[in-house]
Each structure stands twice: as structure tokens, then as C-alpha cells.
């Protein structure tokens, strides 16, 4: 009876080692690490670990043990959270939506600034615990009351769960600012990656709400603001750069929007977008809007393939303004508050920031732009990770702190 257990005990280390070797091979065969990135060896190691965990999650999913996203989020939530003596941190629920409130302990002579934070992770990764350190730092360093929203994610929930949860929790908070000691004239919305997309979409949606305080400013950290064109210069140049490859981006987008993955090529080639829609929005989506200096590195001019109506019927909701806030009407864009945009040179989503920056500026919205030549997607999450720290991570966080303190 002991023999099967002994065999299993010996087989498990071999299995985990084999998966890790596979992840290392996958990294070196498929991943680009640009020369401008600092600490390339550290980045490679972290990306190998990332691929290893994703591969393990996919194996567990195929075995019916646990879905890959839930496995990764379980690991996120296993991380130890440090208590900050300067803050009171409270886990709450706004209806069914879990939120985490960060409040400075020190007394204040006037209501504080408020920050609503939507975390990234492509609706696959990320959690309240994963982003605890970042939100803790932002609340403490800006002396603000910060609300982080824990929205529903795949595989159990799909569009529009992310938008609905963040919208409902934001409205709940905005209606109760007095309760939390927040100045209604100094509320900032902030988010990274897909959280940046939520910032754009929700700020636009709230513009017409006379019953709520007006958002003072929006902070978008390498946001995803359009699902139309995945062949922009940065999508070509950085398609295999950690930690967001173009393949993973399209897969995550399809999973969240409940689009069958068989349509992935149609989305990449732009054949799911009707020609009249391309013509309507080309003035905002064209690579001509990207400054020339960003197109010097390996960009090949591109045009969409022949229109595929079946693909359009399957994927047309990705063209809704909630999922592509870049295409909002001029009248909406013109009403938006001042904005702080962060972009990273080695990020597939760099050009989303550049296009949204131009859209805002063309409509007279004040924009502060912060660009990092050594930055990469997801870098902000490493700002407090000690041995896994990257200089660009702290640069982003401190730039956001500096901007918010000026509100």
C-alpha cells in the first residue's frame, strides 16, 4: 500500500521540475527583452516564474482541479500583508462588492482628498490583497482616503461585470463621501491596465450625473482604451515583451467578453470591424496620430483584412464605448476632468495612452503625461517587492503621488 504513495511522492518533484523547465524554454523561445529594460536577468526570472504558474494553472484546469485564474489569485491572496501604523484599513462590502478602505489615522483640519482605485490584471489576475501595498502607499503618501474595489472576474463572470461592479461601488462611495471624511471637490479616480480602462469608462459615464460630485481628476496607468486596432506600432514592437504579450491580451479580452477563441485571428487582423466603422473612427485610431519617434523600431504599416460578418456578430460588443472608451463622442471627451497618463516604452499598450492623450488634448482637456523609456507593463506592482524591485516601478508610483498631491 505504501508503494503507490512512494511513487507519487517521487513523481511530484519531477512533474513540477518538468513544468518549470517547459516554462523556461517557452520564455527563451518566445519572449523579447528589449535592451532599454533595466535588470534584464531579474525580469527574465520573474517572467519564467509567471509562465510557470500560468502553465501549472492551465494543467490544473484541464485536470478539473481548479481554473487557472483562480489558482493564480489564490497565490496572490496567500501573500502576507503588512500593517501600516499610519493607516486604518477596513474590508467592507458595498452590496455584494468587496472593497478595501484605507484611511489615515492622523486627525485632519479639513476633509481629505479621496481616491477610487481600480486594480489591473486583465480581469484574470489581481486582487485586493495583490494591490494592497500599492494602495497603502498611495493613501499614506498623499494623505488621502482611498477606496480599492474588488470586482468580479473570469472565469465565473464576464462583461459587463467589471464595469457594473466598479460603477456601482464608485457611486456608493461618492454618495457617502461625508461619512468617510472626503472633500467632494477633490475625488480622483485611478487605475492601471484594465483598471485604467475602467477609469476612462466610468469617468465618461459619470459626466452626466448631476446628483454626484464631479470627479476632480483621472489617473490612467498604461491603460487599455480600445479594442479596435491591435496592430498599432507598440502592439507590433512589444508583442512578446513581459508581462503582457499580444497573444495573452487577446486571450484575456476574449475570455472576459465571452468571445470564442476561434475568432482570435479575426480580432488581430481587424476583420471583425465593419469598413464604415473603421472609417468613422480612423481619425482617432490611426497610427498617424502616433509621433514618428515611436514608430522607428520595427513598425510595419498595416491595414485591416476583408470584413468578416460572422466575426463581427460574435465580437461586436468589444466595440462598445464601455470596452473601448477611446471612441466616446467629442462632447463627452470635452467634459472630462484633467488627466494624468502613464505610458511605458516597452509596453504593448503604450500607444493606447498616446492615442487617448491626443483625444483629450484635442478637446481641450488638460493632460499631464509621464513616459518611461525603461518601463514595462505591470511594472507598478513591483515597486515594494524589495529584491524584485525595478527603478521604473517606484518612478511611476512617485509620479502618481506627486500629481495627486497637487490636486
Catalytic residues: 193, 347, 377
CA distance linking residue 210 with residue 208, whole number of Å:
6
CA 399 to chain centre: 18
CA distance linking residue 251 with residue 247, whole number of Å:
6
The Cβ of residue 275 has, within 10 Å, a number of other Cβ atoms equal to 10
Contact, 290 vs 351, CB < 8 A?
yes
Smallest CA-to-CA distance from 365 within 316, 389, 330 is with 330
Neighbour-count burial of 313, counting CB atoms closer than 10 A to its CB (0-12 exposed, 13-18 middle, 19+ buried): exposed
Smallest CA-to-CA distance from 130 within 349, 344, 382, 348 is with 382
Cα-based torsion angle of the residue sequence 162, 164, 168, 174 in order, rounded to the nearest 10 degrees: 70
DSSP string, 317-345: GGGSTTT-GGG--HHHHTTPPEEEEEEEE
CA distance linking residue 133 with residue 306, whole number of Å:
47
The answer, yes or no, to whether the previous bond of 391 is cis (omega within 30 of 0) is: no
CA distance linking residue 142 with residue 102, whole number of Å:
12
Smallest CA-to-CA distance from 346 within 234, 250, 236 is with 234
In the numeric block, which cell numbers belong to residue 319? 466595440
Smallest CA-to-CA distance from 135 within 87, 201, 197, 198 is with 87
319 contact partners, CB below 8 Å, separation of at least 6: 227, 228, 273, 277, 327
Amino acid at each position: 500500500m505504501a508503494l503507490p504513495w512512494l511513487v507519487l511522492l517521487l513523481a511530484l518533484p519531477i512533474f513540477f521540475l518538468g513544468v518549470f523547465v517547459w516554462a523556461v524554454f517557452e520564455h527563451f523561445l518566445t519572449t523579447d527583452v528589449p535592451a532599454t529594460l533595466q535588470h534584464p536577468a531579474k525580469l527574465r526570472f520573474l517572467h519564467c516564474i509567471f509562465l510557470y504558474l500560468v502553465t501549472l494553472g492551465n494543467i490544473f484546469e484541464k485536470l478539473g482541479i481548479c481554473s487557472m485564474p483562480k489558482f493564480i489569485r489564490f497565490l496572490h491572496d496567500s501573500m502576507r500583508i503588512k500593517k501600516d501604523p499610519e493607516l486604518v484599513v477596513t474590508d467592507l462590502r458595498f452590496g455584494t462588492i468587496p472593497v478595501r478602505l484605507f484611511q489615515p489615522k492622523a486627525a485632519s483640519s479639513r476633509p481629505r482628498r479621496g481616491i477610487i482605485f481600480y486594480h489591473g490584471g486583465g480581469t484574470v489576475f489581481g486582487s485586493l490583497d495583490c494591490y494592497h501595498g500599492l494602495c497603502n502607499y498611495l493613501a499614506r503618501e498623499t494623505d488621502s482616503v482611498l477606496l480599492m474595489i474588488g470586482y468580479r472576474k473570469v472565469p465565473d463572470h464576464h462583461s459587463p461585470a467589471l464595469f457594473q461592479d466598479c460603477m456601482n461601488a464608485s457611486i456608493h462611495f461618492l454618495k457617502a463621501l461625508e461619512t468617510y471624511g472626503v472633500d467632494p471637490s477633490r475625488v480622483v479616480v485611478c487605475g492601471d491596465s484594465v483598471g485604467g480602462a475602467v477609469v476612462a469608462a466610468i469617468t465618461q459615464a459619470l459626466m452626466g450625473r448631476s446628483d454626484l460630485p464631479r470627479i476632480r481628476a483621472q489617473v490612467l496607468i498604461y491603460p487599455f482604451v480600445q479594442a479596435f486596432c491591435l496592430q498599432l506600432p507598440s502592439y507590433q514592437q512589444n508583442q512578446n515583451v513581459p508581462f503582457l504579450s499580444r497573444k495573452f491580451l487577446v486571450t484575456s479580452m476574449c475570455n472576459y467578453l465571452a468571445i470564442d477563441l476561434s475568432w482570435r485571428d479575426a480580432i488581430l487582423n481587424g476583420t471583425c470591424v465593419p469598413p464604415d466603422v473603421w472609417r468613422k473612427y480612423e481619425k482617432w485610431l490611426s497610427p498617424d496620430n502616433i509621433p514618428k519617434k515611436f514608430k522607428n523600431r520595427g513598425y510595419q504599416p498595416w491595414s485591416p483584412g476583408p470584413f468578416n460578418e460572422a466575426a463581427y456578430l460574435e465580437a461586436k460588443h468589444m466595440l462598445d464605448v464601455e470596452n473601448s472608451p477611446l471612441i466616446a463622442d467629442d462632447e463627452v471627451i470635452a467634459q472630462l476632468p484633467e488627466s494624468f497618463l502613464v505610458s511605458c516604452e516597452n509596453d504593448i499598450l503604450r500607444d493606447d495612452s498616446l492615442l487617448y492623450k491626443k483625444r483629450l488634448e484635442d478637446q481641450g482637456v488638460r493632460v499631464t503625461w509621464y513616459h518611461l523609456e525603461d518601463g514595462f507593463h505591470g511594472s507598478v506592482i513591483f515597486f515594494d517587492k524589495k529584491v524584485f524591485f525595478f527603478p521604473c516601478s517606484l518612478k511611476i508610483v512617485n509620479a502618481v503621488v506627486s500629481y495627486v498631491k497637487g490636486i
